[in-house]
Amino acid sequence: MSIPGYNGHNITQYQSSYHQKKIVEELMRKLRKNGILTSISDNLLFQILSCSEMIPERVSGKVILFQQGDPVSSWYLLISGQIELYLPSSCNLIYSGYHLKTLNSGALFGELQLLTHSCSGRVKKVAEFIKIHHSHFLKIYNKHADYLQQYLTIMQDIVNEKGQLKQFTSGDVNVYNGEEDIPMANNSIPSPGQQNTIGRNINNSINTPFMQQNNPYDIQRYSPNFITSSGRKKRLLPDTNFITSMAQQQHPLLNENFEQPTETWNANGNVFEISKPMNMEKQIIEIGLLLKRTMEVENNELMQSRTYQQRIFENVMFGSEIVDWLEELTDRHLNSSTNSTFSRSHIVGMWQCLLENNIISHVTNELQFKDCRIPYKWTIEDPLEKYFNKKLFRHEFEDNSDQIIKPLINEGLNELDMKQALFLLSSLGPDALFRMILSKPSQERSPEELQFVYSELLHLKALSHLSTMVKRELASVIHFEQHSNAGTILFRQGDEGKSWYIILKGSVDVSIHGKGIVNTLHEGDDFGKLALVNDSPRAATIALREDNSQFLRVDKHDFNRILRDAEANTVRLNEHGKDVLVLEKVNISYKNNINFGGDLSTYPNNTAQTHCCYSVMAGQPEKMLEYILETRIDAVNDDEPLDTFLEDFILTHIIYFHTNLLCSYLKDYYMRKSYLPTRIDGRGFHSIDNDIDLEQRLIAKRRVVWFIKVWQDVLQTSFFLDKIANSFVEEINSCVLEDSQNLPGMQMVVEKMRQIKRIKEIAMKKLNRHPALLLNCGAYSDQAPAPQSALQIDICNQTIYTTENIFITITASIDKTANDLIELCKPRLRFKDDYEQKFLVEIKSNGDRVIFNGTDISIPTVISHNSKLYIVNKEEIDNLTPTDDQNRITWDIPTYVSVFDRLRCSEISQQLTQFHNQLFEATNELELIINVLGRDKFPGQSCSNLDILMRRFNEIQYWCVTEILLGRCHARRVEILKKFIKIANYCKENNDLLSLFAITLGLSSAPISRLTTLWKSLPQKFSRQYSGFESLLDPSRNHRSYRIFISKLTPPIIPFVPLLLKDLTFTHEGNKTYYTGLVNFEKMHMIANVLRSFKDCKASSLGFVPAIKKPEQMHWIKNFIIIDNPKKLMELSYQVEGKKI
């Protein structure tokens, strides 16, 4: 089934790498045409421009680009116009100062070794320039310094050449000292190879001048958003740019694309904000600032003088205390609104993330955060606190005490910022915890840590084919490795093989002598294993393609040991010289909560009680069933969780063990007799032989009945819809009643059989209902049975067309095939050529055709929203085209009434959650298997409920796009966009992830994402929320952000079903179902895990607060008016905002 907007079909990212490449190439052509940097090679110029903002900026004259002391964020390539570099004066006239140099078109200028600008720059003539990110330019410069030097204008060098320059004041001339007044090497950035000083104060000696704000002139200052700002309200309020500069001096990472505020700094305004353009490092710094300020305001007592290792440390915090504090803070701000729970280990991961980014540090510089009484300190300095302390020291505050720092900071700690900060930090915590655990020696990893690493390894593509035991063994020996620079060689062709690598982040090039680069490996791929297996030299050279690439590494001796242990722990059962069952010995821990949701506290001596058992790796279906009956059924207890192997077998048996064969084997097992050895003396059986025979016969009968009860409990409705299973229950019931008359000890078996019969009778009463109308000519019917599953007796009204503009509406049940529908229509359509073969064809609104097979069933639930069904001859198929009404072009748009004009956002989200919960409850997990493995392999079984659920997912996406594009004006479209983000946020709080991500994908589709004017008009509060939604859809590490997010939610949850279908598809296509005639049960286990997660989301489904039942509202919500033709949507998008040249 096609899912628009997913996996790159209709919903795309904002810009692809291909689109960026085209922009850079067009920019290069423009520069070459204007004669700019013509002697620089194309390759080098392409690298420089790839690190730029790509779109030239045009700034009018008399605009100040930057001032002396401002943070360095970019290099500049001047395309046209003139820029004047000057040293500012100390008077109030900003334009007064000492002229240094005028730069003309073609100048490539900036700072190399300074964190702040050594001079000021203003536009002399209307200028057009490109900004190149400073940190990226430095990387290129370090590689090509000798070649680039001749083309660069380094502002620091120009200032240094004026050693005795004079600075203008109001009428007087003073001589520059050159060492004190002009910032030189004291605020230089770390040179290559120099120790990173992030998080430490590296500018203590800098005396940064800044302009007073009560200027007599209205001076324009350059802003990335082209918004000008003029005079300030109060002289003593801090200058926004000055505070920003201080923040950036504390952390060089803030220099990269730092967004300068353009409005007057307000003492009562918010001082914390995660802006969308910021990279992750900047956002972590801001989160650290917010947490530090919160702790200072609310729990300042945590920071005290502490004694550690016979030394006294000032203003430090104990690790265990700040874990308690952050756990309480997270619970207060997140758990109440998102129904999520955070374990203590997760909180430790959040602090580890801050430790890795130098927001906090250990007093003795240890690299791992520990949840114990070990002192930590805040490394990051608060620019506001430093600024106000400086003001207090200079006695520059007026008598108004409202300007003191704590009230200012306290005003800035609002609920929304805290939620967003904690949510982002919580999503980064597991990654940091993963790296922390992998940096420990194997012997120091606790059982809980090993379980967490194992849970992470489950999502790695490179390990998907390995057995459970091997993955658990890998968890104890796998290591984390990171390399900073692209081009680093991991190993060369011919080297000895020492390690196996898995790419966690980044990519590598594979090159062979004489052939060059032959392949590129990306995230999730592995390499280096062949040399370990064969004990041979490396067959290729591996080089990094990207900076900061991350790998998982398994060393050779560990790799070989795991392979030996895996073979030693494998047990093969043979019959007639052939393997019939393959088992793997597994150590099972008695400890509870050994998962990421549990605590990371360890048991005494860091050990756990374990016992040994066997898991099934592969086998013949009947032998696996026999193994279950002999070893697992006896341990079934209603008060304990169901055995995983037993549940996996029941959930997946339809793939490899038809119900008919399963019931036949169970019947044989039920009826079998025990064969006992004779006495050694040859005088017949032992005296207790009859008792043993009776006991074993009773055990066999009890096991079969107990298996039926578990089968019934696991599959629920699906079990009773299976006619073969129902007949088998009746057959076994007759056998039990007969045996109870002849065999003693059958009372428990009879009672269990009565339970099965009672449950069956209740279920059959619900299933034996009248047919319900599911779809009425494509519209979801109010009579539909959801949350009960749609049955094959349920009906749909469907309109059928012919090529002669004739149409009829028929009523047919879901189980009708395409051939049945054709036969139903023939008497009424009266075809002239009735003897010719007819085909049922779907024509979509975009012109695509789908020809149904004669045996396909549930046709009305499969077709798209605006599709039409035709019955035609074979030669007429190619002439079928969509009609105008399929694209809604004939709408009278001025009279169209949006659902937003009728309902509030909270009401819409509540109705969406209620409706989608009904559809989700109606969908059975076995429908996922049927859909992925192929409907043709399960004749007579339909996926109608799943079809409707996915149909709804697509409908929500197209609804978002349609509503926005049909907005009558710009203000209306902005308002609708804001409402969609509000609805998505409500759905997130309601655990309706299906709606959340359908809306997110709809808003990120090409017709909406290209509307730059629309997105620029969106308030930053909504931009941050939407950015958070997008981050949850990050596909890296196998959608790890989403998986971590949903693991913290408490059912009921409406999951992101398309991702479950994707998981099933990858598992099915990436793993064989049979190996040497045996069922690959490792694959079945992975499939069952997906189905189990689907089922678990339904737990406590009654927890949903039902929406107020208003039939007219529900009708609006159940059936949106949409345009589902991507081409037409793009046409509407171009009408809203024309194509960009």
Whether the per-residue pLDDT at 1130 is higher than 70: the answer is yes
Q: pLDDT by residue (tens digit) across 833-857?
A: 667 889 999 999 999 999 999 999 9
Residues 6+ apart with CB under 8 A from 62: 95, 122, 123, 220
- In 12-149, DSSP assigns E strands to 57-59, 63-66, 74-88, 97-103, 108-110, 120-133
Instruction: Kindly report the number of other CB atoms within 10 A of residue 402's CB atom.
Output: 11
Whether the per-residue pLDDT at 170 is higher than 70: the answer is no
pLDDT at 218: 34
Lowest-pLDDT range, 87-101, 197-211, 640-654, 753-767? Answer: 197-211
pLDDT at 1109: 56
Instruction: Kindly report the number of other CB atoms within 10 A of residue 175's CB atom.
Output: 10
**In which residue are the tokens 């960009």 written?**
1140
In the chain, the percentage of residues whose pLDDT exceeds 90 is 42
Of residues 965, 962, 898, 892, the one with CA closest to residue 1137: 965
- Give the single-character DSSP code of 464: T
Whether the per-residue pLDDT at 861 is higher than 90: the answer is yes
Q: Does residue 360 sit in helix, strand or coil?
A: strand
Q: Which two tokens stand for residue 289?
A: 């600032």
CB distance 663 to 725 below 8 Å: yes
Report how far residue 912's alpha carbon sits from residue 903's, in angstroms, rounded to the nearest whole number: 12
pLDDT at 1132: 93
Strand order in the sheet with 526-527: 479-483, 549-555, 499-505, 526-527
**In which residue are the tokens 């080098």 written?**
44
Identify residue 747 by its one-letter amino acid code. Q
Instruction: Kindly report the number of other CB atoms within 10 A of residue 475's CB atom.
Output: 21
Strands 1074-1075 and 1078-1080: antiparallel
pLDDT at 520: 93
Residues 6+ apart with CB under 8 A from 605: none
pLDDT at 271: 29
Residue 898: phi and psi, rounded to 5, are: -80, 155
* Of 652 and 255, more confident: 652
Q: How many CA atoms lie within 13 A of 30 on its CB side?
A: 18
pLDDT-derived band of residue 389, with 50, 70 and 90 as boundaries? low
pLDDT at 822: 92
pLDDT-derived band of residue 982, with 50, 70 and 90 as boundaries? very high
pLDDT, mean over the chain: 79
Residues 6+ apart with CB under 8 A from 478: 438, 453, 457, 552, 553, 554
Q: Which two tokens stand for residue 189?
A: 């950035």
Q: Does residue 777 sit in helix, strand or coil?
A: coil
Lowest-pLDDT range, 205-219, 313-327, 549-563, 918-932? Answer: 205-219
pLDDT at 396: 52
Residue 1102: phi and psi, rounded to 5, are: -70, -5
Whether the per-residue pLDDT at 944 is higher than 80: the answer is yes
Exposed, middle or buried by CB within 10 Å (0-12, 13-18, 19+), for 1009? middle
pLDDT at 63: 82
pLDDT-derived band of residue 46, with 50, 70 and 90 as boundaries? confident
Averaged pLDDT for residues 286-309: 89
Lowest-pLDDT range, 229-243, 522-536, 1020-1034? Answer: 229-243
Q: pLDDT by residue (tens digit) across 324-345?
A: 999 999 888 876 555 566 889 9
Whether the per-residue pLDDT at 410 is higher than 70: the answer is no
Distances in Å between the Cα of 908 and the Cα atoms of 113, 485, 1113 are: 55, 49, 9
pLDDT at 140: 84
* Of 820 and 180, more confident: 820
What are residue 220's DSSP bridge partners?
A: 63
Residue 375: phi and psi, rounded to 5, are: -80, 140
**In which residue are the tokens 């075809």 written?**
831
Identify residue 617 by its one-letter amino acid code. M
pLDDT at 895: 56
pLDDT-derived band of residue 691, with 50, 70 and 90 as boundaries? low
pLDDT at 1008: 96
Instruction: Kindly report the number of other CB atoms within 10 A of residue 141's CB atom.
Output: 17
CA angle 69, 73, 74 (to 5 degrees): 115
Domains in the chain, CATH or no CATH each: 34-226 (2.60.120.10), 280-435 (1.10.10.10), 445-572 (2.60.120.10), 620-758 (1.20.870.10), 769-890 (3.10.20.90), 901-1055+1097-1141 (1.10.840.10)
Averaged pLDDT for residues 495-513: 93
Whether the per-residue pLDDT at 790 is higher than 60: the answer is yes
Q: pLDDT by residue (tens digit) across 868-903?
A: 999 999 989 999 999 888 876 544 555 567 888 888
For the full predicted model, state whether its pTM sits above 0.75.
Answer: no
Residue 822: phi and psi, rounded to 5, are: -65, -45
Q: Which two tokens stand for residue 213?
A: 């704000």
* Of 302 and 673, more confident: 302
Q: pLDDT by residue (tens digit) across 158-169?
A: 888 765 343 333
pLDDT at 335: 67
* Of 262 and 672, more confident: 672
pLDDT at 583: 92
Most confident residue range from 413-427, 600-614, 1042-1056, 1110-1124: 1042-1056
pLDDT at 273: 32
* Of 602 and 718, more confident: 718
CB distance 524 to 490 below 8 Å: no
Q: pLDDT by residue (tens digit) across 628-637?
A: 999 989 888 8
Q: Which two tokens stand for residue 467?
A: 């057995």
Averaged pLDDT for residues 606-623: 72
